[in-house]
């Protein structure tokens, strides 16, 4: 092995080691989807995703906002090459182009309003309008929501998520002015639907 190759392989080895350390090989095969790191619209449940997706990259290519990025080996392991949306970087603007190009049906045809990438959850201890005795008037999440007044409503100028309508697009997360030490925002999208056996939204 050449010196250069050896050095190149180091990160992989480190990743494998890290995975072993945290939970044997599970780290490499388990889903990378977690808070604010989501699948594109219409994705099949996470249990099937990695085996259905052929990593063709068409959804990545077609995304006009560069929201969809392919998972890399280091963080996604076995899921490397599968599409992910990190909403804190670029959220999904729900143009629904990716579902049209997916050749395998891993991203199913779905209407914009039926998208359920996750569910936005407001951290009432971090949100500056919800905090006790707060005198700050922030409505950023409400203002930027594509389903304003449906998915986010205001209760006396404080935002409230309506679970029924939230698509989990993450635009509110991206806009939220509060960033916590762990990188989370005062509103975060939790991929609650990804790990259910049967998704809640109506299948078409």
Partner 1 sequence: MGLSRREFIKRTAALTAASYVGMNLPLKEENRAQASDVDGWHRGVCRLCGTGCRVELGVKGGKAVALRGVTGSRTNMGYLCMKGMLFYRLMGHPERLTKPLYRASKKDSFKEISWDEALDIASREFARAVRKYGNDSVAYYGSGQALTEETYLFQKVMRAGLQTNNVEGNPRLCMASAVGGYITSFGADEPIGSYANIEKAKCFFIIGSNTAEAHPVLFRRIMRRKLDHKDEVKVINADPRVSPTSRIADMHLQFMPGTDLALLHSMAWVIIDEGLTDREFTEKYAVFRVGKDKKQVDFDTYKKFLDDYTPEKASRICGGNITPDKIRTVARWFAKSGGTVSLWTMGINQRKRGVWANNLIHNLHIITGQLCKPGADSLSLTGQPNACGGVREGGGLCHILPAHRLVKKDKLRHQVEDLWGVPRGRIPPKPGYHTMAMFTAVNQGKIKAMWVNCTSPAQSLPNCDLYNKGLAREDFFLVVTDIFPTRTTEYANLILPTAFHFEKTGVYGCTERRSQLTRKAVNAPGDAKPEVWIVREWAKRLSRDLNDPVIATTVKPFDGLEEDYELPEAIWNEYTQKLTRGRDNDLSGATYRVLSRMDDGVQWPAPTEEFALQGGTVIKFVKGYDPLATKHSKDENPYQFYGPAHPDRKLWVWLRPHKGPEEMPDSEYPFYLSTGRVIDHWHTSSMTGRIIELMRSNPYAYVEINPADAQRLGIKPGDMVEVESRRGSNLLPAKVYEGPVKGMVFVYWYDQAESRMINKVTKDAYDPGSKEPEFKICACRIRRVSGPRPLKPFLVQMKG
List contacts with partner 1 (CB under 8 A): 64-66, 93-95, 97, 112, 126, 128, 131, 133-140, 142-144, 146, 148-149, 154, 156-157, 174-181
Q: Given the complex with partner 1, which of 156 and 202 has the nearer CB atom?
A: 156
CA-nearest of 200, 183, 197, 194 to 87 is: 183
Instruction: Say if residues 175 and 145 touch (Cβ distance below 8 Å).
Output: no
CB of 174 to partner 1, least distance (A): 7
CB of 75 to partner 1, least distance (A): 23
CB of 166 to partner 1, least distance (A): 17
Answer positive or negative: Cα dihedral of 68, 74, 80, 81.
positive
Cα–Cα distance for residue pair 163/177, rounded to 1 Å: 22
Q: Given the complex with partner 1, which of 80 and 95 has the nearer CB atom?
A: 95
CB of 157 to partner 1, least distance (A): 6
Cα–Cα distance for residue pair 96/16, rounded to 1 Å: 35
Tokens at residue 193, please? 């639907």
CA-nearest of 82, 94, 96, 85 to 49 is: 82
Q: Given the complex with partner 1, which of 133 and 202 has the nearer CB atom?
A: 133
Max Cα distance, the chain (Å)? 66
CB of 12 to partner 1, least distance (A): 31
Q: Given the complex with partner 1, which of 104 and 143 has the nearer CB atom?
A: 143
CA-nearest of 170, 203, 139 to 37 is: 170
Q: How far is CA 12 from the centre of its chain?
A: 24
Q: Given the complex with partner 1, which of 53 and 186 has the nearer CB atom?
A: 186
């Amino acid at each position: 092995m050449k010196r250069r190759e050896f050095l190149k392989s180091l990160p992989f080895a480190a990743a494998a080691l890290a995975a072993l350390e945290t939970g044997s090989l599970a780290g490499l095969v388990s889903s990378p989807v977690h808070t604010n790191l989501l699948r594109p619209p219409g994705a099949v449940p996470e249990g099937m995703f990695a085996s259905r997706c052929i990593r063709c990259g068409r959804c990545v290519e077609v995304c006009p906002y560069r929201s969809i990025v392919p998972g890399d080996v280091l963080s996604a392991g076995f899921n490397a090459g599968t599409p992910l949306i990190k909403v804190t970087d670029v959220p999904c603007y729900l143009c629904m182009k990716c579902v049209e190009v997916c050749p395998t049906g891993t991203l199913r045809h779905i209407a914009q309003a039926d998208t359920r990438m996750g569910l936005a959850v407001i951290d009432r201890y971090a949100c500056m309008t919800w905090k006790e005795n707060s005198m700050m008037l922030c409505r950023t999440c409400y203002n930027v929501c594509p389903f304003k007044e449906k998915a986010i409503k205001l209760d006396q100028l404080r935002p409230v998520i309506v679970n029924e309508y939230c698509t989990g697009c993450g635009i509110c997360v991206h806009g939220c002015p509060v960033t916590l030490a762990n990188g989370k925002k005062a509103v975060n999208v939790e991929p609650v639907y990804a790990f259910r056996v049967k998704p809640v939204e109506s299948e078409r």
